[in-house]
Amino acid sequence: MKALTFKRYGKSPEIGLTDVPRPTLKDDELLVQVHAAGLNPIDYVVPTGMFKPVLYFQLPATLGSDLAGVVTEVGRNVTRFKPGDAVFASIFDLGTGAIAEFAVVPERAAALKPANLDFVQAASIPMVGLTSWQALKERANLQAGQKVFIPAGSGGIGTFAIQLAKHLGARVGTSTSTGNVELVRSLGADEVVDYKQQAFENLLHGYDAVLGTVRGDTIEKSLTILKPGSKVVSLIGPLDAAFARARGLNVVLRFVFGLMSRKIMRLARQRGVSYSFLFVRPDGGQLGHIGQLLETERIRPVIDKVFPFEQAKEALEYLAQGRSKGKVVIKMR
């Protein structure tokens, strides 16, 4: 079968479509014929080797985390799915990839595709949906009436997180460029800062949570808009010692990650704020709840561009430019 793979880490990873063996099933897995695969920033970061200490791949490795497709075979211990079921899933951090004609999906990671979404729309959801759910509901414990700042509101994670936060009853502040102001307002953003015209830290105040989605000094600046007792949940780092402990990493990596996060931890403590790094995990149960929100149209997919499978590498390069409004998806079939 065909898959989008990379052969090595570094500046020349040799990303391209190649022939690879069709995966074989374990007892608790589904074999899914992939109809569409959603792209996420981690997909172009992985080949650089940045996450090599914490993400395991056997090279050459298939890229991609999000998929939607049809179950063609199930392992003997699978009880919730059968051949012919339309499903969607994130297989991030499971050592395998989604940008392929077929993919294996653990039963625990899969959910039935929302009936009102096509495969392209469904494939755009899993990682951004799960990340938003785990960051806002679990880690930040966002409550109705609270205020959350979600920078880069027009991006893949931002377009979903804004909608989920509004569903939870929160007020949402975001930053975006001039051309995307109306988009983020249509998703429910209450306070919108045009970062080309103004600095968000000069305009926003009294916030209860920040979702870290932008590299650079945005997270440090966001501390100034928070109330004491608030929470910063970062998706882009710096990695911290708690993350290293949770993954069972060795004492050296725990020390290194502790050093990496020392500055932001110190600044957060000075303002009475907590900081943590979040690595999303696959969770079919949570994805099922997200599917219900999609079926009732309380949340809608936002898709920027769809590429055919033959242009999968170009799709990855397009996403890496950082200008997409919503998600980039590869359509297999």
CATH number at residue 114: 3.90.180.10
Average pLDDT per consecutive 10 residues, the chain (333 residues; last block may be shorter): 95 93 95 98 90 85 97 97 98 94 98 98 98 97 97 94 98 95 96 92 94 84 94 88 84 85 90 92 97 95 97 95 92 90
Same domain, residue pair 222 and 152: yes
Same domain, residue pair 57 and 160: no
Domain membership of residue 34 (yes or no) is: yes
Same domain, residue pair 73 and 87: yes
The whole-model pTM stands at 0.94
Distance in angstroms (rounded) separating the CA atoms of residues 190 and 173: 6
CATH number at residue 215: 3.40.50.720
Domain membership of residue 150 (yes or no) is: yes
Same domain, residue pair 95 and 140: no
| pLDDT for position 55 | 84
Domain membership of residue 292 (yes or no) is: no
Same domain, residue pair 213 and 105: no
Domain span holding position 243? 128-277
Domain membership of residue 44 (yes or no) is: yes
Same domain, residue pair 112 and 141: no
Same domain, residue pair 57 and 173: no
Cβ partners under 8 Å of residue 52, min gap 6: 9
Same domain, residue pair 107 and 134: no
Cβ partners under 8 Å of residue 267, min gap 6: 220, 223
Query: Which strand (E) or helix (H) includes residue 44?
Result: helix 42-45
| pLDDT for position 40 | 95
* Single-letter residue type at 302: V
| pLDDT for position 75 | 97
Same domain, residue pair 180 and 54: no
For the chain, how many structural domains are there in total? Answer: 2
| pLDDT for position 236 | 83
Question: How many other C-beta atoms lie within 10 A of the C-beta of residue 215?
Answer: 12
| pLDDT for position 289 | 97
List, in sequence order, every beta strand (DSSP E) within the chain: 2-6, 16-19, 29-38, 61-62, 66-74, 86-90, 102-106, 110-112, 147-150, 171-176, 191-194, 207-212, 226-234, 274-277, 303-308, 327-331
Distance in angstroms (rounded) separating the CA atoms of residues 259 and 29: 39
| pLDDT for position 239 | 83
3-class secondary structure, 123: helix
Same domain, residue pair 229 and 134: yes
Q: How far apart are the first and last CA of the chain?
A: 13
Same domain, residue pair 139 and 176: yes
Same domain, residue pair 269 and 190: yes
| pLDDT for position 189 | 96
Domain membership of residue 284 (yes or no) is: no
Cβ partners under 8 Å of residue 191, min gap 6: 171, 172, 173, 174, 203, 204
Asked whether the beta carbons of 3 and 18 are under 8 A apart, the reply is yes
| pLDDT for position 56 | 82
